[in-house]
Structure 1
Amino acid sequence: MRIDVLGVGFDNLTMGEAVDRAMELIHGEGVHYVVTPNPEIVEVCRENLAAKIAVNGADLVLPDGIGVIKGAAMLGTPLKERTPGIEFAGHLMERMAVEGLSLYLLGAKPGVAEQAAEKLAAQYPGLKIAGTHDGYFKEDAPVVEAIAASGADCVFVCLGAPKQELWMRKNGAATGARLLCGLGGSLDVFAGVVERAPKFWSDHGLEWFYRLCKEPRRIGRMMKLPLFLVHIKQEKKKK
């Protein structure tokens, strides 16, 4: 049973439970995908039906932002905890490394995925990097074929929302991978190109503000957060 937050259904799992479920999907039959919506993506889903279908069609929908946690609580349907995509990815890679599973990295500017691959291979001994491709491509087919040829068990799809969610829904099956994870700008962090917010900011739900201070151009996107809270209050009044 998923927890509905403004039309997006979130799986009510702890981080450990989410990683366990992801590993089950990797070892299961068929192709599956994971999404990690924050309030901004929830707002996109309110305006974009295709994005909403792609997000809700995922096998795992994990709450990335503290705003989603607060929103769910305000609606009287609390979620267990926040499961940031980048942390989920780290725990997943730890588990994959133990089993010698392979990972394909897709997204970011040219060269970034390769940098990330080098660092991740060193950080998670046993993890096999099946291949990389930047996010600046016009045709899906060559990328899908490259992933399929790599034999990757898992793909980190870092194309930004909602492009990555739509891409996974459309192309997931053709990649041959068991699991695809939409992880936004995570490759930039893995590569060391972008610094993640220090622990204090993350622990206090202020990672979004730290990123805004570092990248003021994000102000337009960040304005969706107060809009999200307005919509939560409106939804609460209906109950």
Structure 2
Amino acid sequence: MRNDIMGVLFDNLTLAEAVDAGERLAAGPGFAYVVTPNPEIVNLARQREDYRQVLNGAGLVLPDGIGVIHAAKILGTPLQERVPGIDFASGLLTRLAQTGGRLFLLGAKPGVADQAADNLRKTYPGLTVCGTHHGYFQEDGPVVEAIRQAQADVVFVCLGAPKQEVWMAQHGPATGAHLMVGLGGVLDVYAGHVKRAPAAWQKLGLEWCYRLLHQPSRIGRMAKLPGFLVAAAGEKRKRGKP
């Protein structure tokens, strides 16, 4: 069952349920991709129907931002919990290390994916990182072929929105991978270049605040959140809900 949050259809799952679903998709015979929209991505999808279709065509649509959770409550279609992309990815990494699945890392500046791969191998003993590629490529074909040659089961695609979601939908099937996950800047975290908020901040839903304190340049993006919630209230009135 999916909940319609301003046109984007979110899976109403806990983190544990999402990881279970992701593992099933990764082990399946076909191809699927996972998207993790935050309010910024939902706003873009409201403006671009083609992008909204890409998001809604995903095998899993997970609520990454706390703003999405608040909007869902306002709309009267609450989601069970926030499912941060990096937490979903970490859960999936544990399963891959146990089952022998093959992971490919795509994105970030040259060298970042390689460092992330080294760190992940240490953190998840038994994990097979079968290949990496930076995100500053001009042609898609060689990247698709690199993933195919690596025989990847799962690909973490970290190209930033909306590029990563569109890229997965367009090129994923040709790679031979079973599952792709759009994860924004997660490779910088895994590489140790960006520090994630402490667990206490995460539990309080204040990870966005921690990032803002350490990256003041994000203030323009964060300032859009109140407008997003106002738009959710307007959407609720349109739907005729009390």
TM bin, normalised by shorter chain, reads over 0.9
2:76 pairs with 1:76 = yes
- Separation of aligned partners in 1, 2:169 and 2:156: 14
Q: What residue in structure 1 maps to residue 66 of structure 2?
A: 66
Q: What residue in structure 1 maps to residue 146 of structure 2?
A: 146
- Separation of aligned partners in 2, 1:204 and 1:212: 15
State the identity as a percent. Answer: 62
- Separation of aligned partners in 2, 1:100 and 1:207: 32
Aligned alpha-carbon RMSD (Å)? 0.9
* CA distances 1:116-151 after superposition (whole Å, capped 9, x unpaired): 000001111111001001111111111011001000
Aligned residues: 239
Task: Give the Å deviation of 1:50.
Answer: 2.1
Q: What residue in structure 2 maps to residue 207 of structure 1?
A: 207
Q: TM-score w.r.t. structure 1 length?
A: 0.98
Q: What residue in structure 2 maps to residue 166 of structure 1?
A: 166
Q: What residue in structure 1 maps to residue 117 of structure 2?
A: 117
Q: TM-score w.r.t. structure 2 length?
A: 0.96
Q: Is there any run of 5+ residues in structure 1 with no aligned partner, and where?
A: none
Q: Is there any run of 5+ residues in structure 2 with no aligned partner, and where?
A: none
SS of match in other structure, 1:18: helix
Q: What residue in structure 1 maps to residue 91 of structure 2?
A: 91
2:184 pairs with 1:188 = no
**After the TM superposition, which of the residue ranges 210-219 and 160-169 deviates more from structure 2?**
210-219
Letter in 1 for 2:19: V
Q: What residue in structure 2 maps to residue 230 of structure 1?
A: 230
Task: Give the Å deviation of 1:237.
Answer: 1.7
- Separation of aligned partners in 1, 2:225 and 2:138: 31
Query: Runs (4+) of structure 1 moved beyond 6 Å?
Result: none
Q: Contact (CA 8 Å) 1:35, 1:55: kept in 2 or not?
A: yes
Letter in 2 for 1:106: L
